[in-house]
Structure 1
């Protein structure tokens, strides 16, 4: 496994699976300007690497995925510096959303504020059973902004309103029932589940996987009919890559071998 370490990020690569790990950012993995910039640069690097098939986003330790933005830094801000601060965080979120390959969030412990916005930008979210989620910005005098705008599509308008106005937290099982996370597993099973899922996705045709991610991103902004017509075009384009032929032939060959290994009828 190849690993590159910077001040706030470990960037690893094992075959087609890249891992971005937030480090050295306190026990709750708080993101300030420096950490935000380091994470953004890591994703920009990954986005230029054609060998990456899937990305796992995680943070050091088990106390938190990301506990939010750095209050010690924010307390010093004025209007203009506050806008610059939050714009940098929005840039990180966009670098995750625009990643051409699927991004899996490994969520352990607290996932709060900016951390939940970052998680919402990931394609798949797997949490351990002790994880807790919330948007507590109102409790420190600021609104939840930028990629909080993704939450209504994930959990619905009513639940988003509750999270943002009350600042209260929900547990992992509630998050799963709200479709905020895709799976909840035992803490000691989290890494195995993440590894299995990442390996599975990395084994799919890379062009098909990227094509599917692009379609998923476009559909919410299209009418159903426009989405159908566009997807017909995309279906045809898939066959120009050679991946359907390769994977379908492998499937048929495997099926044929299984059929050939079955019990033989006795000869007369």
Structure 2
């Protein structure tokens, strides 16, 4: 018997932090104070940062909920694509919580930045493609998180920057991804000046993958997410895993390993199924 995706509701016993229920075609996967995640029937999950102010500021409680959410979502084999977004359209994330950072000491500063590291690494190592939806301010830790995602789609109102030096700290952790994305010279300019760049410049530099007017942002994110979700889920997970491995492997090792990855793909049945469809067109 076929079961309608929208017909069932399940709420497990316990705290309800990870309650799952079906409603209007979506499944609620995560329901924490600062993190909400839902799954569409096509396999597109959306993780939303919430209750973090209008600029989606990353405080320790926000980071702890996001890290917990990413850890849980990474174990869900139904997810084919993950979209990460903030609440509202003022910002993706406008940075870490300066009020909290003002009170840091040498004894607890490492613990604070390690929370942000865990969230960024959770996105970077997520087993499926991750799309960052960037409507506005994307600064500091927010830009690091966006860089940890695989694809960045932005509104033409976006402002990107690494302003840490302006408040007496260096840009750290996943800021180290920037040279690979935009080159050493542009990374140095961003980090040493602390200035922001607009959408056009960020697109030209290769920091953003796509820029659209604000009214088209959600449509473009949805279109790409659904496109990726239509591909073989095992092939996407293989490709994501290989992309991460290539970051540290030599060229020779990457080529050698990819031969086995190619052979392994034929154990999944996806090449047979998808190539058969391709031949029908």
- Deviation, 1:2, is 2.1
- Deviation, 1:7, is 1.0
Deviations 1:215-265, CA, capped at 9 Å, x for gaps: 11111322222211111111011111110001001111x22xxxxxxxxxx
Provide the aligned C-alpha RMSD in A: 0.9
Q: What residue in structure 2 maps to residue 56 of structure 1?
A: 83
- Deviation, 1:61, is 0.9
Secondary structure of 2:247 counterpart = helix
Q: What residue in structure 2 maps to residue 263 of structure 1?
A: none
* Cα distance in 1 for residues equivalent to 2:114 and 2:247: 24
Q: What residue in structure 2 maps to residue 238 of structure 1?
A: 265
- Deviation, 1:90, is 0.4
- Deviation, 1:5, is 2.7
User: Is residue 69 of structure 2 the alignment partner of residue 42 of structure 1?
Assistant: yes
Q: State which structure, 1 or 2, has the greater radius of gyration over its C-alpha atoms.
A: 1
Are the equivalent residues in 1 in contact too, given 2:37–2:46 (CA < 8 A)? yes
- Deviation, 1:117, is 0.3
Deviations 1:92-143, CA, capped at 9 Å, x for gaps: 1111111100000000110000000000000000001000100000011111
- Deviation, 1:17, is 0.7
User: Is residue 152 of structure 2 the alignment partner of residue 121 of structure 1?
Assistant: no
> Going by fraction, where is helix more abundant, 1 or 2?
1
Structure 1 segments unaligned to the other structure (5+ residues) = 256-268
* Cα distance in 1 for residues equivalent to 2:259 and 2:123: 27
Q: What residue in structure 2 maps to residue 2 of structure 1?
A: 27
Q: What residue in structure 2 maps to residue 86 of structure 1?
A: 113
* Cα distance in 2 for residues equivalent to 1:156 and 1:74: 29
Could you tell me which of 38, 54, 65 is aligned with 1:12? 38
Structure 2 segments unaligned to the other structure (5+ residues) = 1-25
Q: What residue in structure 2 maps to residue 150 of structure 1?
A: 177
Name the TM-score, length of structure 2 as normaliser: 0.89
